[in-house]
Amino acid sequence: MTIADYKQRLGDHGKDTKLNLSNLFGNVDTSGLTADQFYGTALSLVYSLNDNELIAAVEAEAEGKVEANVFSAAKLAATLMAMNNIYYRFVHLSSDKQFAKMPAGLRMNGMANPGVDKTDFELFSLAVSALNGCGMCIDSHVGVLVKHGVSAQAIQTSIRLAAVLNAAKTARALS
């Protein structure tokens, strides 16, 4: 299954989503992201969305365009952000600020050596953090990315991927 196949399974209510998928996946070269960044971000997002058909479609699109390490790093980003986004969203939203002073006590060794460029991994993590709604994590990842010279266009593209892939899953579920 490819993105084109997945789009065909979306109902009329998914017309805009189909167009947005075409725009994103049809213009990877103008996205402001490298192939590793684009497909790694997309993979991280679909692994987080846990839609097997969408996973298959994005994996098919990425196949031959990125190496196996990008697939592995995308799985790592999805997994670590599933944990971190819950924890740090709680810390951020809790009115009891004592939790912000406490050590998280969560193992995150994979972040030290994710198997891809650390800036790319930050981009994957940012998109998943946006998907999961963790403002504290979003701010942290954007700060690192800006510090490392990642363009606003590249950051925006990662968030557009999150928005459109989330819409695709919703449109498919409603078909």
Rounded Cα–Cα distance for residues 63 and 61 (Å): 6
Active site residue 134: yes
Catalytic residue chosen out of the listed positions 42, 91, 134, 161:
134
Active site residue 137: yes
Which 3 state secondary structure label does DSSP give 66?
strand
The count of C-alpha atoms lying within 13 angstroms of the C-alpha of 30, restricted to the half-sphere facing its C-beta, is 4
Catalytic residue chosen out of the listed positions 137, 142, 155, 161:
137
Classify 32 in phi/psi space as left (phi over 0), alpha (psi -120 to 50) or beta: left
C-beta of residue 121 within 8 angstroms of C-beta of residue 158: no
C-beta of residue 25 within 8 angstroms of C-beta of residue 17: no
Structure tokens at 161: 């991927």
Rounded Cα–Cα distance for residues 124 and 73 (Å): 9
Rounded Cα–Cα distance for residues 5 and 80 (Å): 30
- The catalytic site residues sit at 134, 137
